[in-house]
Amino acid sequence: MSDGSKSYFAPLAWVNGAWAKDVLLSVASNGTLASVQANATPDQQRDAVQLTGPVLPGLVNAHSHAFQRAIAGMAERAGPGQDNFWSWRDRMYSAAQRITPQQLEAIAALLYAELLQAGYTQVCEFHYLHNDPQGKPYADPLEMSCALVRAAQRVGIGITLLPTLYMRSGFAATGLHKDPPLLTGQRRFSSTPDLIFKTCEGIEKQFGSNMVNTGLALHSLRAVGQGALQEATAFARSRHMPIHIHVAEQTGEVVDCINAHGLRPVEWLLNHAALDASWNLVHATHSTPEELLGVTSSGASIVLCPTTEANLGDGIFDLPTYAALKGNWAIGSDSHVTRCWQEELRLLEYAQRLALRQRNVMAASNGQASTAAALFNAALAGGSAACGQPTSGLAAGNRADFSVVDTSSPALLGVPVDQLLDAMVFSSPDARLSEVYVAGKPVVQAGRCENWRVLADDFSNAMRVLWA
């Protein structure tokens, strides 16, 4: 087609929340889907690129700290005293203090390639590593932000950069007006609303496209006071940007918030932040049913990171209550102890089964037959809200992001077509993807990104220096 458009034919594709047969995907020159047609005739298929297996829409990884890929597997030995989130945080800080912009780009590039190979086609990068190791701004204040965008462009994944406001080390003591200063380990995170605004504007000016956009993140209520929160969210709303915040991840955070404000963290947001569909509450692990009802009513979404929440011992999110309320949610891999959406969804469901001693919890909560379908469809819808991009599935107007399932994967051998997604989520080792397309362009072929070997070498070199 001379105008740059292209068509793909899939024998099976996930359309409108279910498998459809003989699907023709027509991609416009701008990388969006012009049309999606099931039951395409042989004549309609003739000029299309023939895809070799079932096709799934790309998923959004709604919460990423790319630099933490460097500590995956490196914080799994018990230290003195009780090992918990806060002791893990000290280890994370020690690595964060040493990473250079060049190392960050190498680490992020390999991570983003791994995400692509797993079927994620967009990543929301919750970015707070702003300054140099001494806590001073780089000559170019966008140095670290640009390293992340270049990493995404290098492999072909879409990125929503979320420059993160981080201003204090904890809640102000009751009756005091002075915020506690940042700890030594947090000095690279220091930022102001103005810095965050200029970062968003600078990234949009240099890179803005259907593959690169920005949102705004507030690290947490303990790190951002009410005045700065309101200033930052007013900026985001004026530009229709997604807003992300860590909230209620740890019971200690909940207690501290109650002591400081007389309210639980999510409760405080509901009372003071005017939550709406632009908001994405990351974790919200320790939320009450009343808070979850408030989140649902506001239109805000929750971002769940099951493997990180398990790895850090955070606790178990109340998925049955939230799902029964039809609440919006997405998934992220956060600290990247795994980079696979199948494992995230599997662990999300299994945690509920262990806690409740029941099976197919998500399906029952949603009134659906297939747990895998209920999980996948929810993650797909919530991901689009998290990134502020049209990525909610195979539908006209959405970006043409999709992956081709390798049905020769051992987990899928002999599985009936209508239970293929069930096996992908609940049978491991995880099913492979043979190809991945972003904006209609192939970025993974034969299961690998084109420059995988170079990416792996660059990552290995960065790790050797960091952990020497």
Q: Which residues are catalytic?
A: 283, 334
Choose among 344, 331, 367, 302: nearest CA to 428: 344
- The Cα–Cα gap between 184 and 198 comes to 25
Residue matched to tokens 């797909």: 380
How many CB atoms within 10 Å of residue 5?
A: 14
**HEC per residue, 399-447:** ECCEEEECCCCHHHCCCCHHHHHHHHHHCCCCCCEEEEEECCEEEEECC
- The Cα–Cα gap between 253 and 170 comes to 9
Q: Which residues are CB-neighbours of 223 under 8 A, at least 6 positions away?
A: 165, 166, 167, 168, 169, 170, 189
Tell me the longest C-alpha to C-alpha distance in the chain: 75
- The Cα–Cα gap between 358 and 352 comes to 8
- The Cα–Cα gap between 126 and 191 comes to 14
Note if the bond before 429 is cis, omega within 30 degrees.
yes
